[in-house]
Structure 1
Amino acid sequence: MSDTVPASILDGNLAHFHLPEVLQLLRLARATGRLDLDRAGEHASVWVENGQPVFARTSGGAVRLGDLLVHRRSVSREALELLLSIQREQPGRRLGEMLVAAGATTSDEVRAALQDMMRRVVFGLLLWREGHFAFSIGDRTLSPEIRLDLDLERLILEGLRLADESGRADPA
């Protein structure tokens, strides 16, 4: 088995094929792999298993795990700041694991916050109307306990509903 990155089997412009359409196509094909999205210096990835999104992350201004845990009152701001300073000295360590090991929160709280973060990432991506997408087939290599557990149709409908509500809240 080689270490080469698999070539994309599906790619295009989000101005022509919006993300909900691309995700629906992957669902119908029951595809497994990674969907990469790029626009104006921002990159996002959505991992898909059997047509369902199971993990998502972005380089953009998405909510950070620690901030979300503080907002949910699952972690104190002081504990978060302390562990973030330790994490800066020990790159590669996962913040959620560090918070649980320190007794600052529970693994269930971290898992719930991670799922909420991934939903928010996907909701934000559903609004992208420009940029490029590329889907590469292959196995998912992320930790199985960190996965988005929501069916695609519901995810798309909820994301579009939230987008509609935020659009109505913004006076143009």
Structure 2
Amino acid sequence: MSLAGRLEDLALADIFQILSIGKKTGTFLVKGTKGTALIVFKNGLIVRAETDDLDGTLADFMLKAGMIRETVFQMAVEVKKKLPTQSLADLLLDLGAISREVLEQATRKRIEHVIYRLLLWEDGDFQFELDDLEIGDKTELQDLGWELSKGLSPEYLLMEGARVQDESAESSFDPTQAFTVEDHGQKEETDAGTGWDDNWGETPAAERKDITALKSLTQELRFPNSTSEITLLVLRLASDIFQRGVLFMAGKNQIIGLGQFGIEVDRADEKIRGIVLSLEMSSFLKKIVTEQMPHKGPLEKDDITLYFMDEIGGPWPAEAAFFPIVAEGKVAAVLYCDNAISRDPIGETEGLEIFISHAGLALEKSLLQRRIHEMEKGRG
């Protein structure tokens, strides 16, 4: 399979979902007015990403972060002049200037930055070559960085990249800035005061994460590029409120795993897409889908919910939440969320419920546009 086209016609989110769901292996190249980029996929996961739209190479980033010494960096640069096909990261590892573990951490951060930057591109011609990992002279990029031993989920990168874009609109975030790899899981607390808390009772704005995030995401939902973008927006907002979640696509008598956040099992995305929950065998789940109403409270134990919890791992949640996404009068998807790891109680979800209602309307609009397009195509 060779996939080629323009970013103007096929959004990056759609391309990533095609390659991720299909567990594709190969090289993805894109060239636009902002530069050139390379992404390497293995079994649907991203193991390498580079672009000349960022200042410097992976090695430059590590130097700025104080992870390597200037003298060793310059030595690697001189060696590369004689071995141009070798990346500076490879040479630094060979020189003993950095450990493999730290290099992997730095590469994960570099890949995140590359994807974040690509999300800003408005144009570009792309091509994906299936099962072709020989980069050779396919790209003008001078340094190809490092290949991860364990790839990153495209869905996660898209979700985090879109979140960074939202944050950058309110701050001076620079995706080219130097980074550290110490504990980037911790986030600084920021002032969430927006004035919205005056309109939503006496609960402080800092506690209403759903309402704060709702402001920025609702605007994006008005003009989605695809149905996959709608589902990613839902997962993004939910991940601000809950520790983990799974989005299911609804069928006639079953719901099928589509995407996730916070699920800590090996190959989480692949495992989630393999989960099929029968509604006929779970009166608890069937009631949620039939009534088309959110459920927040205990997760009833039956054969299906026991199987589901076993698949996603972790302790049995004290509370769980299900949010049906309704389009054209039918449940099109179901969002499951919990805080099972910390055992924290479920907080306010009014903002998320409002957003999910808007997501259903956006899905209806997207389906209608698709039907109109198919009708016009048939007439042509």
2:223 match = none
Deviation at 1:156, TM superposition (A): 0.8
Deviation at 1:67, TM superposition (A): 1.9
Distance in structure 2 (CA, Å) of the matches to 1:135 and 1:97: 25
Change (3 A) 1:17 1:91: closer
Matches within 5 A, 1:43-58: 43-58=36-51
Matches within 5 A, 1:1-172: 9-40=2-33, 42-141=35-134, 146-147=148-149, 149-169=151-171
Identity of aligned residues (%): 25
1:80-99, Cα deviation, whole Å (9 max, x unpaired): 12331232244333322332
- Structure 1: which 5+ residue stretches go unaligned? 1-7
Change (3 A) 1:102 1:21: same
Distance in structure 2 (CA, Å) of the matches to 1:102 and 1:57: 22
Distance in structure 1 (CA, Å) of the matches to 2:75 and 2:40: 31
CA contact (8 A) 1:33 1:49 kept: yes
Higher RCO, 1 vs 2 (CA within 8 Å, ≥6 residues apart): 1
Secondary structure at the aligned position of 1:124 is classed as helix
- Structure 2: which 5+ residue stretches go unaligned? 136-145, 173-380
Deviation at 1:147, TM superposition (A): 4.6
Output the TM-score relative to the length of structure 2. 0.38
CA RMSD across the alignment: 2.6
Distance in structure 2 (CA, Å) of the matches to 1:101 and 1:49: 24
Deviation at 1:139, TM superposition (A): 4.1
Distance in structure 1 (CA, Å) of the matches to 2:83 and 2:23: 39
Equivalent residue pairs, number: 162
Please say which structure displays the higher CA radius of gyration: 2
Secondary structure at the aligned position of 1:23 is classed as helix
Output the TM-score relative to the length of structure 1. 0.78
Distance in structure 1 (CA, Å) of the matches to 2:65 and 2:111: 16
CA contact (8 A) 2:54 2:114 kept: no
1:55-102, Cα deviation, whole Å (9 max, x unpaired): 222233354122222233221123212331232244333322332343
Distance in structure 2 (CA, Å) of the matches to 1:66 and 1:38: 23
